[in-house]
Amino acid sequence: MRTLSIRWDNIHRHGEAWISHHRLRYRMFVERQGWSVPHYRCMEYDEFDTPAATYILVVDEHDQALGTARLIPTTRPYMVKSLWPDLVEGALPHSDEVWEASRFGCDRALSAGGRRRVIGQLIQACQEFGLANGISSYLGVMPSWIFKNVIAAHGCPVRPIGVTLPLQGHDIGAAYIGVSSAVLELVRQHTGIPKVLDESPSSVKPIPSALSPRLAEDAPSEPVDGLPRSSQPEGLVEAE
């Protein structure tokens, strides 16, 4: 298994993994969990799949996605702010040091051991990516038992930041997940893997615009409206 960080500017190197991850999201969230979210030809997507997002993917030898996580800086439109602001007590984050982690999960067809390994690699890769990009914490929304039994169990500090909401038999809440070199070391002790990201998780600073200065000024800074909005929480995984 390999673990990749994919952005819109390097998708051309990972086309099969990219498409496969949208199919995996469809199987996880539409087929199995029955979420009412946008999808097309068995591929799930939403309005937060923009050039601002980075995708952490665990793939097999055929570049088929086994696990996925989506990371978005809170300086850009993100799910909690747009859809679940009531889950956060106090001010919503708006910082280059705080990113939202969403669409977190793995292929249910894997064995229990396979799922544990994939989830561990996703968590470790998010820590490696975070350290490389000046991230101090991730904001996540998921069932409380996943925060406790999956995220915290791998050594990541979890700080709840609001009320929980009963939904589909789970208590859903928002929390910050700490990122640091000390946390990464704890995660590595849990997974037994020194480094998981195949590619150097290089900085995701904006790429200079290819447009003329005037056209670049006139270009819209926000995603185009019109896509259906997701109404479901993120991060549902089963770890056994």
Average pLDDT for 82-104: 96
Q: Which pLDDT does position 235 carry in this prediction?
A: 45
pLDDT-derived band at 36 (thresholds 50, 70, 90) equals: confident
Residue 215 has pLDDT above 70, yes or no: no
pLDDT-derived band at 199 (thresholds 50, 70, 90) equals: low
The mean-pLDDT minimum among 30-34, 154-158, 166-170, 179-183 falls in 166-170
Average pLDDT for 190-210: 67
Strand partners, 167: 170
For the stretch 136-178, pLDDT in tens is 999 999 999 999 999 999 999 999 999 999 877 789 999 999 9
Domain boundaries, the chain: 2-199
Q: What is the fold, at CATH topology level, of the domain defined by 2-199?
A: Aminopeptidase (3.40.630)
- Average pLDDT over all residues of the chain: 85
